């Protein structure tokens, strides 16, 4: 085929035009595109939170840690880090704060010690790590991650987990580090008045995070001190993959907080992900609310956070409040405490 010089110039001109308009289109699409490229949700526990007891000063303190957690996780995701890294980054400030029932602020066991539980899961390959009933570990989420990375096991408990931690160079802390007056008083009150842990733990201060990264991978993590006055090596849902934590790129990532025994019985985190994976035509919010309604039906309470592969970050709780926050690449960034403080839906409101 003979191509004239004029035709070549015209073709070049047209392709430059096409390229140019293509770029413009791309830019416009990016601006119009509301789908988040990364997304993050965090919680610092759900429970019977009383607005009258939440002084403005206390609220500022809680919001400051939630904001720090949200910003730490967001920074990882915005710079192209993985969801599993973001989950750890978001959990660390909450574990380091005495306000939440995880790491430093963990509740006391019946024997006056602290036994920590944590878990983490990567939705990319469903690799998971969990630790249960460990003492003296400053940041339990990092130990759970070390178990996940090691890969030989999913869950380690007690002294064995502590030995594993020392082999991996995980930072430890002395008992005084975990000693907080508020938690000590809760244990004393429980013993003196023969109360149940629920009577003294009006809120479940467990912490957790779920994330979607720019590569489309999901992850979830949860860390807790369990419930005040726990004994006999009691383990709740938080370190149990499928109950307190679950992540699967095909469906969602979930972290839970609440009365652990019920979350284990319902298999909350995996139940939500499985229903979404089966695509039964219900929205993620409807599915999360339905599973939380099951928890309530059995007599339990608490809440969940979840993030979907599309980047929707949702909350569902059947308590008066849940310390929570969410952020994504579209500029969304919010923290909230009581029900209905942001646009997210909440499950059935409590009657206690």
* Binding-site ranges for ligand ASP (CB under 6 A): 45, 101, 204-206, 224, 226-227, 236-238, 257-258, 260, 302
| Active-site pick, 206, 222, 228, 319 | 206
Overall residue count recorded for the chain in this entry: 352
CB of 147 or CB of 268, closer to ligand ASP = 268
CB of 71 or CB of 301, closer to ligand ASP = 301
Tokens of 129: 């790590």
Please give the Cα distance from 215 to 330 (Å, whole number).
Answer: 16
What is the spatial order of strands in the sheet that 116-122 belongs to? 155-157, 127-134, 116-122, 218-224, 207-212, 39-47, 321-328, 333-338
CB of 117 or CB of 122, closer to ligand ASP = 117
Tokens of 20: 């140019």
Q: How far is the CB of 237 from ligand ASP (least distance, A)?
A: 5
CB of 53 or CB of 152, closer to ligand ASP = 53
**Catalytic status, residue 319:** no
**Nearest partner of 259 among 50, 47, 74, judged by Cα:** 47
Beta strands in 27-66 (DSSP E): 39-47
Burial of 8 from C-beta contacts in 10 A (0-12 / 13-18 / 19+): exposed
Please give the Cα distance from 231 to 251 (Å, whole number).
Answer: 36
Catalytic residues: 206
């Amino acid at each position: 085929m003979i191509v004239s010089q004029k035709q070549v110039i015209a073709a070049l001109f047209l392709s430059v035009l096409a390229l140019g308009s293509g770029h413009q289109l791309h830019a416009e699409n990016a601006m119009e595109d509301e789908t988040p490229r990364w997304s993050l949700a965090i919680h610092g526990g759900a429970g019977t939170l009383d607005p009258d007891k939440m002084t403005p000063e206390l609220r500022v303190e809680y919001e400051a840690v939630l904001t720090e957690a949200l910003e730490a996780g967001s920074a990882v995701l915005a710079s192209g880090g993985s969801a599993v890294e973001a989950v750890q980054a978001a959990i660390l400030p909450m574990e380091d704060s005495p306000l939440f029932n995880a790491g430093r602020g963990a509740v006391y066991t019946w024997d006056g010690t602290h036994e920590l539980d944590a878990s983490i899961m990567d939705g990319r390959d469903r690799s998971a790590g969990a630790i249960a009933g460990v003492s003296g570990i400053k940041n339990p989420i990092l130990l759970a991650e070390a178990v996940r990375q090691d890969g030989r096991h999913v869950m380690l408990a007690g002294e064995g987990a502590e030995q594993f931690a020392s082999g991996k160079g995980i930072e430890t802390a002395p008992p005084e580090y975990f000693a907080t007056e508020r938690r000590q008083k809760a244990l004393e009150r429980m013993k003196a008045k023969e109360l149940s842990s629920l009577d003294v733990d009006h809120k479940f201060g467990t912490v957790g995070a779920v994330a979607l990264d720019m590569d489309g991978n999901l992850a979830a993590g949860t860390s807790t001190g369990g419930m005040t006055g726990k004994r006999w090596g009691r383990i709740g849902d938080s370190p149990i993959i499928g109950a307190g934590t679950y992540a699967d790129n095909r469906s969602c990532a979930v972290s839970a907080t609440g009365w652990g025994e019920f979350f284990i019985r319902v298999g909350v985190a995996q139940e939500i992900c499985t229903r979404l994976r089966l695509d039964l035509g219900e929205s993620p919010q409807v599915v999360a609310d339905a599973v939380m309604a099951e928890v309530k039906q059995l007599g339990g309470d608490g809440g969940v956070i979840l993030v979907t592969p599309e980047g929707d970050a949702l909350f569902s709780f059947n308590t008066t409040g849940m310390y929570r926050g969410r952020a994504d690449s579209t500029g969304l960034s919010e923290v909230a405490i009581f029900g209905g403080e942001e646009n997210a839906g909440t499950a059935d409101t409590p009657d206690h």
